[in-house]
A = this chain, B = another copy of it.
C-alpha cells in the first residue's frame, strides 16, 4: 500500500507524540519534527507508511539513545493480555466454531496499537476482547477456513505486544505443529519482538523467529534471509495488523490479513469503515 496524502498529517502527529513519549527535551521535539517535515517534503509516496515510521523511530532512538522506549508499556500489555487469556480460551473451547472465534479474538486484540493512536486505555482492551464475538467479522471467512484446512505450513506474522497473547488462541486452533511465528527483529513502537514471544510463552508453543527488521510492518527488502525463506516457503501466511497489511497488501502470496481497521487510509484500501474487524485474503495475482 502506498502512502496516502492523508497519512502525512497523521505522521506529523505521530512524530510529535512519539518524541514526547521518548523524551521531555523540547529541543529534541522540535529537531525531530523539523527533520520529519523536511523528509516528508521530499518523500517518495510510493513507499508504504511503515517505511517512514521506521525512519522516524530510528532517528528518535539515535537522538535520545533510548533503544526501546515503549518497553514498560509493552510489558504491561503482555501481562494484561495474559490475565484475560484463561477466560477467552474457555470461550473458544465452548464455541461451536472455535477457529472463527479464535480468529475474531486475535483480531480484537489488534486494538493494542500505540502507532495508530497516542494512548491506550486498559478498559478499552477489556471491552474489545470481552465483546469481540458480538461484533461482525468481515471478509473472506470461508476461504480462510478452506486454506487453513489445506496448508501444511503456516507463517504467522505477529503485530503488537499484548495482542500476541491473543494470537496464541488462533495458533492453537491452526495447529501449532504446522505454524511458525514471526515477530519484529528489533524494538519498534509497541510491536512484539522475540523478547515478548518468550515472555508470554509463545516460543514454547511454536518455532519463533525475529524478521531481522525494525519496521512496524514487514518490509521484505529489510528482512533477514531466514525470514524471507520462511515467507517464500509457507503454504499460507496469516498477517496481523495494519502495518503488515500496509507493507504486504500487494505481495501476491497466499496471505490473509487479520486486522482492526484503525485509520481512514487503510479503510479506503480495504473498502470497509474504520473500526471494522477484517479477515481479508490478499490479492494473489498482481
- Rounded to whole angstroms, the CA-CA distance of A277 and B12 in the bound complex is 29
Q: How far is the CB of A55 from chain B (nearest CB, A)?
A: 15
Interface residue from B10, B29, B41 paired with A37 (Cβ < 8 Å): B41
Assess the B12–A16 pair: CB atoms within 8 A. Answer: no
Q: Which residues of B contact A8 (CB under 8 A)?
A: 12, 16, 33, 37
Is A86 on the interface with B (CB-CB < 8 A)?
no
In the complex formed, the residue of B with least CB distance to A15 is B9
Q: How far is the CB of A72 from chain B (nearest CB, A)?
A: 24
Is A40 on the interface with B (CB-CB < 8 A)?
yes
- Rounded to whole angstroms, the CA-CA distance of A33 and B29 in the bound complex is 21
Assess the A5–B34 pair: CB atoms within 8 A. Answer: no
Assembly stoichiometry (copies): 2
Is A38 on the interface with B (CB-CB < 8 A)?
yes
Is A6 on the interface with B (CB-CB < 8 A)?
yes
Q: How far is the CB of A115 from chain B (nearest CB, A)?
A: 15
Assess the A9–B12 pair: CB atoms within 8 A. Answer: yes
0 or 1 for each of A1-42: is its CB under 8 Å from B? (1 = yes): 000011011101100100000000010011001110110111
Q: Which residues of B contact A38 (CB under 8 A)?
A: 37-38, 41-42
Is A274 on the interface with B (CB-CB < 8 A)?
no
Known: A9-B10, A34-B42, A41-B41. 6 other contacts (CB 8 A): A5-B16, A5-B33, A8-B37, A9-B13, A35-B41, A37-B41
Q: Name the residue among A8, A30, A35 with the largest chain B CB count within 10 angstroms.
A: A8
- Rounded to whole angstroms, the CA-CA distance of A21 and B12 in the bound complex is 21
Is A45 on the interface with B (CB-CB < 8 A)?
yes
- Rounded to whole angstroms, the CA-CA distance of A35 and B8 in the bound complex is 13
